[in-house]
Amino acid sequence: MTKLAFLGLGAMGSRMAQKLADAGHQLNLWQRSDKTVQISGAKLELAARPQAAANGASVVFSMLRDDNASHQTWNCPSEGALAAMQPGSIAVECSTLSPKRIEQLQQQCKQRGVLFVHAPVLGSRPQAEAGQLIVLAGGDAHALEQITPLLAQFSSAQHNCVTAANAAKLKLLANSCFAIQVLASAELLSLAKDSGLDPARALELLRATPLLSPAAAATGTAILNKKFAPMFAIELVNKDLDYARALAAQKTPLLEITREYFKQAAEQGMENLNINAVAKLFSIAEE
Protein backbone atom coordinates (compact mmCIF):
# COMPACT_ATOMS: atom_id res chain seq x y z
CA MET A 1 0.00 0.00 0.00
CA THR A 2 1.15 3.55 -0.77
CA LYS A 3 1.98 6.07 1.97
CA LEU A 4 -0.33 9.02 1.37
CA ALA A 5 -1.10 12.38 2.94
CA PHE A 6 -4.43 14.17 2.86
CA LEU A 7 -4.58 17.89 3.67
CA GLY A 8 -7.95 19.43 4.49
CA LEU A 9 -10.56 17.27 6.20
CA GLY A 10 -13.73 19.27 5.77
CA ALA A 11 -17.05 17.93 4.52
CA MET A 12 -15.57 16.64 1.26
CA GLY A 13 -11.96 15.99 2.20
CA SER A 14 -12.83 13.82 5.19
CA ARG A 15 -15.04 11.58 3.05
CA MET A 16 -12.45 11.28 0.30
CA ALA A 17 -9.73 10.50 2.83
CA GLN A 18 -11.96 7.87 4.41
CA LYS A 19 -12.22 6.05 1.09
CA LEU A 20 -8.44 5.97 0.82
CA ALA A 21 -8.17 4.73 4.40
CA ASP A 22 -10.77 2.03 3.66
CA ALA A 23 -8.49 0.78 0.88
CA GLY A 24 -5.80 0.13 3.50
CA HIS A 25 -3.35 2.89 2.65
CA GLN A 26 -1.09 4.41 5.26
CA LEU A 27 -2.51 7.91 5.54
CA ASN A 28 -1.08 11.02 7.18
CA LEU A 29 -3.83 13.56 7.85
CA TRP A 30 -3.92 17.27 8.47
CA GLN A 31 -6.97 19.38 9.33
CA ARG A 32 -7.07 23.15 8.91
CA SER A 33 -9.67 23.75 11.64
CA ASP A 34 -10.04 22.54 15.21
CA LYS A 35 -12.97 20.28 14.35
CA THR A 36 -12.72 16.65 15.38
CA VAL A 37 -11.60 14.42 12.53
CA GLN A 38 -14.09 11.60 11.95
CA ILE A 39 -11.95 9.15 9.99
CA SER A 40 -11.35 5.55 10.97
CA GLY A 41 -8.63 3.17 9.86
CA ALA A 42 -5.70 1.09 11.04
CA LYS A 43 -2.95 3.22 9.48
CA LEU A 44 -3.89 6.82 10.22
CA GLU A 45 -1.77 9.56 11.73
CA LEU A 46 -2.92 13.12 12.41
CA ALA A 47 -0.18 15.73 11.92
CA ALA A 48 0.00 19.15 13.50
CA ARG A 49 1.21 20.85 10.30
CA PRO A 50 0.88 20.22 6.55
CA GLN A 51 4.66 19.84 6.30
CA ALA A 52 4.65 17.04 8.87
CA ALA A 53 1.79 15.27 7.09
CA ALA A 54 3.55 15.45 3.70
CA ASN A 55 6.89 14.24 5.03
CA GLY A 56 7.67 10.83 3.52
CA ALA A 57 4.43 10.59 1.54
CA SER A 58 4.66 9.52 -2.09
CA VAL A 59 1.32 11.17 -2.93
CA VAL A 60 -0.13 14.22 -1.18
CA PHE A 61 -3.79 15.14 -1.72
CA SER A 62 -5.43 18.39 -0.71
CA MET A 63 -9.07 19.49 -0.55
CA LEU A 64 -9.20 23.12 0.53
CA ARG A 65 -11.50 26.10 0.54
CA ASP A 66 -9.95 28.59 -1.88
CA ASP A 67 -6.76 30.02 -3.40
CA ASN A 68 -5.61 31.52 -0.12
CA ALA A 69 -6.05 28.27 1.79
CA SER A 70 -4.19 26.40 -0.95
CA HIS A 71 -1.29 28.83 -0.87
CA GLN A 72 -1.04 28.69 2.92
CA THR A 73 -1.21 24.89 3.01
CA TRP A 74 1.31 24.19 0.25
CA ASN A 75 3.61 27.22 0.36
CA CYS A 76 3.78 28.63 3.89
CA PRO A 77 7.54 28.96 4.58
CA SER A 78 7.32 27.54 8.09
CA GLU A 79 4.82 24.72 7.64
CA GLY A 80 3.83 24.32 3.96
CA ALA A 81 3.58 20.80 2.57
CA LEU A 82 5.57 21.37 -0.60
CA ALA A 83 8.83 21.95 1.26
CA ALA A 84 8.64 18.44 2.74
CA MET A 85 7.99 16.62 -0.54
CA GLN A 86 10.73 14.67 -2.27
CA PRO A 87 11.51 14.82 -6.01
CA GLY A 88 9.38 12.31 -7.87
CA SER A 89 6.53 12.44 -5.35
CA ILE A 90 3.10 13.60 -6.52
CA ALA A 91 1.00 16.57 -5.41
CA VAL A 92 -2.72 16.22 -6.13
CA GLU A 93 -4.77 19.37 -5.66
CA CYS A 94 -8.48 18.46 -5.58
CA SER A 95 -9.77 21.88 -4.50
CA THR A 96 -11.83 24.17 -6.73
CA LEU A 97 -9.37 26.98 -7.38
CA SER A 98 -8.63 29.64 -9.96
CA PRO A 99 -6.60 28.55 -13.00
CA LYS A 100 -4.04 31.20 -12.07
CA ARG A 101 -3.45 29.55 -8.69
CA ILE A 102 -3.26 26.10 -10.28
CA GLU A 103 -0.65 27.23 -12.79
CA GLN A 104 1.34 28.85 -9.98
CA LEU A 105 1.28 25.70 -7.84
CA GLN A 106 2.20 23.54 -10.83
CA GLN A 107 5.25 25.69 -11.49
CA GLN A 108 6.27 25.59 -7.83
CA CYS A 109 6.02 21.79 -7.86
CA LYS A 110 8.12 21.63 -11.01
CA GLN A 111 10.86 23.68 -9.37
CA ARG A 112 11.09 21.07 -6.60
CA GLY A 113 10.93 18.10 -8.95
CA VAL A 114 7.45 17.20 -7.64
CA LEU A 115 4.91 15.91 -10.15
CA PHE A 116 1.59 17.77 -10.18
CA VAL A 117 -2.00 16.80 -10.95
CA HIS A 118 -5.07 18.97 -10.56
CA ALA A 119 -8.08 16.74 -9.87
CA PRO A 120 -11.16 18.74 -8.84
CA VAL A 121 -14.31 16.71 -8.28
CA LEU A 122 -17.97 16.98 -9.21
CA GLY A 123 -20.48 15.87 -6.60
CA SER A 124 -21.26 16.57 -2.97
CA ARG A 125 -21.23 14.77 0.36
CA PRO A 126 -23.48 11.83 -0.61
CA GLN A 127 -21.40 11.10 -3.71
CA ALA A 128 -18.17 11.39 -1.69
CA GLU A 129 -19.48 8.94 0.91
CA ALA A 130 -20.50 6.49 -1.79
CA GLY A 131 -17.25 6.83 -3.73
CA GLN A 132 -19.22 8.19 -6.67
CA LEU A 133 -17.53 11.53 -7.35
CA ILE A 134 -16.57 12.54 -10.88
CA VAL A 135 -12.95 13.62 -11.28
CA LEU A 136 -11.72 16.18 -13.80
CA ALA A 137 -7.98 15.58 -13.94
CA GLY A 138 -5.08 17.20 -15.73
CA GLY A 139 -1.36 17.66 -15.29
CA ASP A 140 1.67 15.39 -15.49
CA ALA A 141 0.61 12.40 -17.59
CA HIS A 142 2.88 9.90 -15.82
CA ALA A 143 1.69 11.05 -12.40
CA LEU A 144 -1.95 10.86 -13.49
CA GLU A 145 -1.45 7.30 -14.66
CA GLN A 146 0.11 6.41 -11.31
CA ILE A 147 -2.66 7.89 -9.18
CA THR A 148 -5.61 6.64 -11.25
CA PRO A 149 -6.21 3.68 -8.87
CA LEU A 150 -6.18 6.11 -5.94
CA LEU A 151 -8.68 8.46 -7.59
CA ALA A 152 -10.88 5.43 -8.26
CA GLN A 153 -11.26 4.89 -4.51
CA PHE A 154 -13.52 7.95 -4.22
CA SER A 155 -14.85 8.34 -7.77
CA SER A 156 -17.00 6.52 -10.29
CA ALA A 157 -15.63 8.37 -13.34
CA GLN A 158 -12.44 10.17 -14.28
CA HIS A 159 -12.09 12.54 -17.22
CA ASN A 160 -8.66 13.44 -18.56
CA CYS A 161 -8.56 17.20 -19.18
CA VAL A 162 -4.90 16.95 -20.29
CA THR A 163 -3.64 20.12 -18.58
CA ALA A 164 -4.05 21.19 -14.98
CA ALA A 165 -5.38 24.59 -16.06
CA ASN A 166 -8.00 22.94 -18.25
CA ALA A 167 -9.22 20.90 -15.28
CA ALA A 168 -9.57 24.10 -13.24
CA LYS A 169 -11.47 25.90 -15.99
CA LEU A 170 -13.82 23.00 -16.65
CA LYS A 171 -14.62 22.67 -12.95
CA LEU A 172 -15.56 26.36 -12.82
CA LEU A 173 -17.73 25.96 -15.92
CA ALA A 174 -19.48 22.99 -14.31
CA ASN A 175 -20.18 24.85 -11.06
CA SER A 176 -21.37 27.91 -12.98
CA CYS A 177 -23.70 25.74 -15.06
CA PHE A 178 -25.15 24.30 -11.87
CA ALA A 179 -25.62 27.71 -10.25
CA ILE A 180 -27.39 29.07 -13.33
CA GLN A 181 -29.75 26.07 -13.32
CA VAL A 182 -30.49 26.48 -9.61
CA LEU A 183 -31.41 30.13 -10.12
CA ALA A 184 -33.55 29.23 -13.14
CA SER A 185 -35.36 26.52 -11.16
CA ALA A 186 -36.19 28.96 -8.36
CA GLU A 187 -37.48 31.54 -10.80
CA LEU A 188 -39.57 29.12 -12.86
CA LEU A 189 -41.16 27.46 -9.83
CA SER A 190 -42.05 30.92 -8.54
CA LEU A 191 -43.52 31.75 -11.93
CA ALA A 192 -45.61 28.58 -11.79
CA LYS A 193 -46.86 29.49 -8.30
CA ASP A 194 -47.60 33.12 -9.16
CA SER A 195 -49.51 32.13 -12.30
CA GLY A 196 -51.81 29.81 -10.37
CA LEU A 197 -50.20 26.51 -11.24
CA ASP A 198 -49.31 23.86 -8.69
CA PRO A 199 -45.48 24.12 -8.58
CA ALA A 200 -45.07 20.46 -7.63
CA ARG A 201 -47.23 19.34 -10.53
CA ALA A 202 -45.42 21.68 -12.91
CA LEU A 203 -42.09 20.23 -11.81
CA GLU A 204 -43.40 16.69 -12.23
CA LEU A 205 -44.49 17.39 -15.79
CA LEU A 206 -41.21 19.09 -16.69
CA ARG A 207 -39.30 16.11 -15.29
CA ALA A 208 -41.14 13.89 -17.75
CA THR A 209 -39.61 15.82 -20.66
CA PRO A 210 -36.02 16.04 -21.94
CA LEU A 211 -36.06 19.76 -21.09
CA LEU A 212 -35.17 19.54 -17.42
CA SER A 213 -31.73 18.29 -16.38
CA PRO A 214 -31.45 15.82 -13.49
CA ALA A 215 -29.61 18.50 -11.47
CA ALA A 216 -32.37 21.07 -12.05
CA ALA A 217 -35.05 18.50 -11.22
CA ALA A 218 -33.37 17.53 -7.95
CA THR A 219 -32.90 21.19 -7.08
CA GLY A 220 -36.56 21.91 -7.77
CA THR A 221 -37.64 19.11 -5.45
CA ALA A 222 -35.34 20.37 -2.67
CA ILE A 223 -36.72 23.90 -3.10
CA LEU A 224 -40.30 22.70 -2.84
CA ASN A 225 -39.43 20.67 0.26
CA LYS A 226 -37.52 23.66 1.71
CA LYS A 227 -34.40 21.58 2.28
CA PHE A 228 -31.60 24.11 2.51
CA ALA A 229 -29.04 22.33 4.71
CA PRO A 230 -25.56 23.03 3.31
CA MET A 231 -24.11 20.64 0.75
CA PHE A 232 -22.65 23.36 -1.48
CA ALA A 233 -22.80 26.52 0.61
CA ILE A 234 -23.69 29.81 -1.04
CA GLU A 235 -20.44 31.42 0.15
CA LEU A 236 -18.53 28.80 -1.87
CA VAL A 237 -20.85 29.29 -4.85
CA ASN A 238 -19.93 32.97 -4.81
CA LYS A 239 -16.22 32.15 -4.67
CA ASP A 240 -16.50 29.86 -7.69
CA LEU A 241 -18.61 32.33 -9.68
CA ASP A 242 -16.01 35.02 -9.04
CA TYR A 243 -13.24 32.72 -10.27
CA ALA A 244 -15.33 31.85 -13.34
CA ARG A 245 -16.05 35.48 -14.15
CA ALA A 246 -12.31 36.20 -14.15
CA LEU A 247 -11.97 33.85 -17.14
CA ALA A 248 -14.25 35.92 -19.36
CA ALA A 249 -12.96 37.97 -22.27
CA GLN A 250 -16.44 39.16 -23.25
CA LYS A 251 -19.86 39.75 -21.71
CA THR A 252 -21.35 36.87 -19.72
CA PRO A 253 -24.92 38.03 -19.01
CA LEU A 254 -26.21 34.79 -17.46
CA LEU A 255 -23.17 34.45 -15.25
CA GLU A 256 -23.41 38.10 -14.19
CA ILE A 257 -27.06 37.93 -13.16
CA THR A 258 -26.45 34.62 -11.38
CA ARG A 259 -23.56 36.20 -9.43
CA GLU A 260 -25.79 39.13 -8.55
CA TYR A 261 -28.51 36.93 -7.06
CA PHE A 262 -26.12 34.70 -5.11
CA LYS A 263 -24.31 37.71 -3.67
CA GLN A 264 -27.68 39.12 -2.67
CA ALA A 265 -28.51 35.83 -0.96
CA ALA A 266 -25.24 36.00 0.99
CA GLU A 267 -25.92 39.60 1.98
CA GLN A 268 -29.28 38.49 3.38
CA GLY A 269 -27.62 35.96 5.68
CA MET A 270 -27.82 32.82 3.54
CA GLU A 271 -24.08 32.36 2.98
CA ASN A 272 -23.98 29.14 5.02
CA LEU A 273 -27.10 27.62 3.48
CA ASN A 274 -27.15 25.31 0.48
CA ILE A 275 -27.00 26.66 -3.06
CA ASN A 276 -30.77 26.15 -3.55
CA ALA A 277 -31.50 28.59 -0.70
CA VAL A 278 -31.24 31.33 -3.35
CA ALA A 279 -34.91 30.43 -3.86
CA LYS A 280 -35.61 32.39 -0.67
CA LEU A 281 -35.28 35.49 -2.86
CA PHE A 282 -38.38 34.31 -4.77
CA SER A 283 -41.99 33.66 -3.88
CA ILE A 284 -41.62 29.87 -4.11
CA ALA A 285 -39.79 29.78 -0.75
CA GLU A 286 -42.20 32.03 1.09
CA GLU A 287 -43.78 30.52 4.21
Contact indicator for 1, 25 with CB cutoff of 8 Å: yes
% of the chain with per-residue pLDDT over 70: 99
Q: 17-49, pLDDT tens digit by residue?
A: 999 999 999 999 999 887 767 888 878 989 999
Contact indicator for 132, 152 with CB cutoff of 8 Å: no
pLDDT at 72: 97
Mean pLDDT of 157-166: 98
* CA–CA distance, 123 with 134 (Å, rounded to integer): 7
3-state secondary structure of 210: coil
pLDDT at 1: 61
pLDDT at 274: 98
pLDDT at 262 over 80: yes
pLDDT at 91: 98
pLDDT at 238 over 90: yes
- As a whole number of Å, the CA-based R_g of the chain is 20
* CA–CA distance, 119 with 136 (Å, rounded to integer): 5
pLDDT at 275: 98
* CA–CA distance, 28 with 263 (Å, rounded to integer): 37
* CA–CA distance, 14 with 9 (Å, rounded to integer): 4
pLDDT at 206 over 70: yes
Count Cβ neighbours within 10 Å for each residue of 197-228 and write b for 16 or more, e otherwise: eebeebbeebbeeeebeeebbebbbbbbeeeb
pTM of the model: 0.96
Q: How many residues does the chain have?
A: 287
Contacting residues for 96 by C-beta, under 8 A, at least 6 apart: 120, 168, 171, 172, 175, 236, 239, 240, 243
Instruction: Write out the H or E segment, with its range, that includes residue 90.
Output: strand 90-93
* CA–CA distance, 188 with 190 (Å, rounded to integer): 5
Give 233's strand partners.
Answer: 274
% of the chain with per-residue pLDDT over 90: 94
Average confidence score pLDDT of the chain? 96
Mean pLDDT of 103-108: 98
pLDDT at 34: 73
129 confidence band (pLDDT: 50, 70, 90): very high
Pairing outcome for strands 133-139 and 155-162? parallel
Mean pLDDT of 83-92: 98
Mean pLDDT of 67-76: 98
Mean pLDDT of 73-92: 97
